[in-house]
Chains A and B, each alone.
Chain A
Amino acid sequence: DSGVTQTPKHLITATGQRVTLRCSPRSGDLSVYWYQQSLDQGLQFLIQYYNGEERAKGNILERFSAQQFPDLHSELNLSSLELGDSALYFCASSFQGSPGNTIYFGEGSWLTVV
């Protein structure tokens, strides 16, 4: 158990809908990351937050947004969903979000868009 908690574990929704994925980082970690894992793209970095502020942005679509709250939990919002958004979405956390800070991953949220 990494200590990173993600909900829901599985989600099935229709195209055009909007979903929110939730993440609680490990106790004491200030930085949260979101990654997307799909068969064709592999593991792609989406976005990183540190202590409530956006720190780095990767291949995140404009239809997706995220935020980190004062209690350090994070949410990833996915809107206008398309079939191609079906993937495993990982949240990860690290202490300060600097190189060398070990990044621990949650078990992921499986999203299926039908």
Chain B
Amino acid sequence: GEDVEQSLFLSVREGDSSVINCTYTDSSSTYLYWYKQEPGAGLQLLTYIFSNMDMKQDQRLTVLLNKKDKHLSLRIADTQTGDSAIYFCAEEGDSGYSTLTFGKGTMLLVSP
């Protein structure tokens, strides 16, 4: 079945870059997403990438996709304390239905 794996925790200093990694198993994934969840809050869509793209940049966010290795990463440049949250990677298959399979989430802690 489909599976999405993420490292559980990442700690960085303010101003550094953060890289959150994700691997997935479904080779038919069409879209891959990054969501952010702050404490006590809902899931905020950060960005997504279509499976035929290698890279997508959106302001401080850069998404890299290696489809051969089924590896996705999210790079946050100039990380701020407000970026501290849990980041979820999710993949969407090509079943014709738009359902997401999520990883367990990576907790990013940004220290001043």
Contact = CB atoms under 8 A, between A and B. Distances in A.
Given A55-B97, A56-B97, A103 B102 contact: no
A48 B41 contact: no
Interface stretch (A69-77, A78-86, A104-112): A104-112
Interface of B: 30-31, 33, 35, 41-45, 48, 50, 88, 90, 92-105
Nearest to B101: A45
B98 A97 contact: yes
A43 B88 contact: yes
Contact of A99 (B43, B44, B92, B103): B92
Nearest to A101: B98
18 contacts: A2-B42, A2-B44, A33-B99, A42-B102, A43-B90, A48-B97, A48-B98, A92-B43, A98-B97, A99-B31, A99-B94, A99-B95, A99-B97, A100-B30, A104-B45, A106-B42, A107-B41, A107-B42
A98 B98 contact: yes
Given A48-B98, A105-B42, 17 more contacts: A42-B103, A42-B105, A43-B105, A56-B97, A92-B43, A96-B98, A99-B31, A99-B93, A99-B94, A100-B30, A100-B31, A100-B92, A100-B98, A103-B98, A103-B100, A105-B43, A107-B42
B105 A94 contact: no
Nearest to B93: A99
A102 B45 contact: yes
B96 A45 contact: no
B90 to A, nearest CB: 8
A107 B43 CA distance: 7
A99 B102 contact: no
Contact of B99 (A58, A102, A104, A106): A58
